[in-house]
Amino acid sequence: MTSVPHRFTLLQRLLHWLMAACIVAMLFIGAGMVSTVAPKYLPLVSLHKTLGVILLGLVVIRLALRLYYPAPPLPADLPWPMKLAAKLSHQALYGLMIVMPLLGVSMLWAADYPVVLYGGVQIPALLPQSDRLHTLLWNAHFYLAFAFFALVLLHLAAALFHALIRRDGVFETISPLPLRDEAAAAE
Amino acid sequence: MNPLRNPGRSGLGSLALIAAVLGGGAAAFAYTTGWLSPQRLTPDKMVEALTPPGGVPPGHRKNHAKGICFTGVFEANGNGATLSRAKVFEPGRHSALGRFNLGTPNPDAADATVRVRGMGLLIAAADGQEWRMAMISPPVFPASTPQAFHSLLLATASKDPGAMKAFASANPEFAAFADWAKTAPWTGSYAEEPYNSLNSFIFTDGTGVEHAVRWSLVPAAQPVPVSQADLEKRGADFLEQEIRERVRTAGPQRWTMVVTVADPGDPTADPSKIWPQGRRTVSVGTLVVQRIEPERDGPCRDINFDPTVLPPGISVSDDPFPAARSSVYRKSYDLRTAEAKDYPRTEAAKP
């Protein structure tokens, strides 16, 4: 085993794709639920809250894994602005993954809504009702969701750029599939 | 063979693919937000339709804007446990917090000008489970669906003299409500009004059996009919003054909570349809209103009486209104908390 890995660990890759699917779902559920008065509003809200709390748990595990295992290095020939963009966008994604569920649950507390998840699990309130705080948290949760979606699209564009145009192995570091040479070696 | 490593794909084709993925993602998101669907009934549109053409003072609820807080207890007699396993039906006293209100978006409306009176109520069990509800005095709702209610709001605000007639003929269910509004006696007190859930909910008992129900708070005080003309002489805020005075001099005011259980086939999805006579009713307890407080700085001010905040043992039915009300009430709460600096918080602030 070399000290410099060429891919993320299997657990990290699985977590990445599981969370990616959930985060995209969360953004769409959130955008859909606040723009409807139809009966689906209630199950969407329930799902949004439940999935949000699950994602908060997952990102803690993910961050611990990320700090424990060294990340595969970016290609040496990648121009420095792209390296910087990669670093900053990943930090922003991690930040949003942590902050969004906290903002979501806090804004419910600040509105004196009981936070009840799917299956009747209730989370006790850690904040008192506050108009000002509720407005601040609500605005942050709402506008950051659009920033989050934009960042997800940017991340996807960069992934496709690495996979299809540069073909520099960056996409393969997180790809859920075994690498071609690994698959061949296993035979 | 990994297709991503296929060297045959042109750079231009890859760029087009990336652009298509991004454009498709952004378009799907825009569709979900409703930006591409002007026909979709959103909570924002409902609030907009509730707002009268001249606007209303900011910082208040977007409907049922005028009200007064109360606190008290809900004394459950235990009969409700045959219908629902919710803790609030276990015999005993559960804390109650509520708000008498008027069905108007104008917080300064004169009391005698508003036909519909309401009560927001929050009953909390000892373990913190909450049951919130918002009930009104008419025995039927004026519209069958949230869409029809939106049309009613638009017709009411319309300058076209034929708008209401057109609404009533397109929505014949409106007749029952209109008849109530025209013929039911007015009273001079919040304490003499019944407050009805109108919406149907599902009660689930301890064995898992579900019962479709509606409920009413039936006043202990005897209603005394008063003409609207006489009420108009009593001043703009007579209801608030009267209830404060009544509780101060006559003591706590009471309502019996009567739950009506649907028979199979009863119209649970339509609050404009009264269920036939003779349905099983269960008196589950008594609401005791012990103390009246002004809304400004009162305990009900910061509460959204969202009728979908329900304890285990109570859930929504196929009635589409609770979900719509929850969505719109949240919008109202988000707006009024953002406008909180405009809300007259203390007595001193009132001109």
Question: What ipTM was assigned to the predicted interfaces of this complex?
Answer: 0.93
A108, exposed or middle or buried, with CB in 10 Å at 0-12, 13-18, 19+?
buried
Question: Domain residue spans in chain B?
Answer: 44-349
Q: What is the pTM of this model?
A: 0.94
> What domain count does chain A have?
1
Q: Contacts of residue A181 in chain B, CB cutoff 8 Å? A: none
* Nearest CB partner across the interface for A38, out of B2, B14, B323: B323
- Which chain B residue's Cα is nearest to A177? B2
- Is A31 in the B-facing interface, judged by CB distances under 8 Å? yes
Identify the pLDDT of residue B4.
Answer: 45
Question: B245 CA to chain A: closest CA distance, Å?
Answer: 30
pLDDT-based confidence at residue A1 (cuts at 50, 70, 90): very low
Residue A166, both tokens: 């540069």
Paired residues of B195 in beta bridges: B217
Q: What is the DSSP letter of A161?
A: I
Domain that holds residue A140: 10-179
Q: Contacts of residue A48 in chain B, CB cutoff 8 Å? A: none
Identify the pLDDT of residue A179.
Answer: 66
Q: Contacts of residue A153 in chain B, CB cutoff 8 Å? A: 22, 25-26
A113 has a pLDDT exceeding 50: yes
Can you list the residues of chain B whose pLDDT is less than 70? 1-9, 347-351
Counting one residue from A and one from B, how many pairs have CB atoms under 8 Å apart? 117
A187 has a pLDDT exceeding 50: no
Are the C-beta atoms of A111 and A119 separated by less than 8 Å?
A: no
More confident call, A143 vs B350: A143
Q: Is residue A40 part of a domain?
A: yes
Token look-up 């005993």 returns: B92
The verdict on a CB contact (< 8 Å) between A32 and B308 is no
* Nearest CB partner across the interface for A156, out of B5, B21, B316: B21
Q: Contacts of residue B334 in chain A, CB cutoff 8 Å? A: 134-135, 138
Q: Which CATH class is domain B44-349?
A: mainly beta
- Is A180 in the B-facing interface, judged by CB distances under 8 Å? yes
Backbone angles phi, psi at A159, to 5 degrees: -60, -45
Backbone angles phi, psi at B10, to 5 degrees: -80, 150
B176-181 long-range contacts (CB < 8 A, ≥24 apart) are B176/B140, B176/B272, B176/B274, B177/B138, B177/B140, B177/B141, B177/B142, B177/B272, B178/B142, B180/B138, B180/B139, B180/B140, B181/B115, B181/B138
The verdict on a CB contact (< 8 Å) between A164 and B18 is yes
Q: Is residue A3 part of a domain?
A: no
Residue A99, both tokens: 């902050």
d(CA B222, CA B260) in angstroms, rounded, equals: 22
The verdict on a CB contact (< 8 Å) between A131 and B303 is no
Q: Is residue A157 part of a domain?
A: yes
d(CA A57, CA A186) in angstroms, rounded, equals: 34
d(CA B277, CA A47) in angstroms, rounded, equals: 39
* Nearest CB partner across the interface for B32, out of A32, A45, A122: A32
Identify the pLDDT of residue A6.
Answer: 86
* Nearest CB partner across the interface for A37, out of B4, B11, B46: B46
Q: Contacts of residue B7 in chain A, CB cutoff 8 Å? A: 167
In angstroms, the first-to-last Cα distance of chain A is 20
- Is A6 in the B-facing interface, judged by CB distances under 8 Å? no
Helix (H) or strand (E) holding B123: strand B117-124
Identify the pLDDT of residue A146.
Answer: 98
Identify the pLDDT of residue B133.
Answer: 98
Q: Of chain A residues 79-108, which have a CB less than 8 A from chain B?
A: none
- Which chain A residue's Cα is nearest to B343? A131
Q: Is residue A186 part of a domain?
A: no
Q: Contacts of residue B322 in chain A, CB cutoff 8 Å? A: 42
d(CA A79, CA A137) in angstroms, rounded, equals: 38
* Nearest CB partner across the interface for B338, out of A39, A135, A160: A135
* Nearest CB partner across the interface for A35, out of B33, B322, B333: B33
Question: B1 CA to chain A: closest CA distance, Å?
Answer: 7
Identify the pLDDT of residue A151.
Answer: 98
Whole-angstrom Cα Rg for chain A = 19
Q: What is the CATH number of the domain that holds A150?
A: 1.20.950
Burial B155-167 (b: 16+ CB within 10 A, else e): beeeeeeebeeeb
Q: Identity (one letter) of the amino acid at B110? A: A
Q: Is residue A2 part of a domain?
A: no
Identify the pLDDT of residue B162.
Answer: 96
**B101-152 pLDDT, tens digit each:** 999 999 999 999 999 999 999 999 998 899 999 999 999 999 999 999 999 9
Assign residue A148 a region (left: φ > 0; alpha: ψ between -120 and 50; beta: otherwise): alpha
d(CA A21, CA A23) in angstroms, rounded, equals: 6
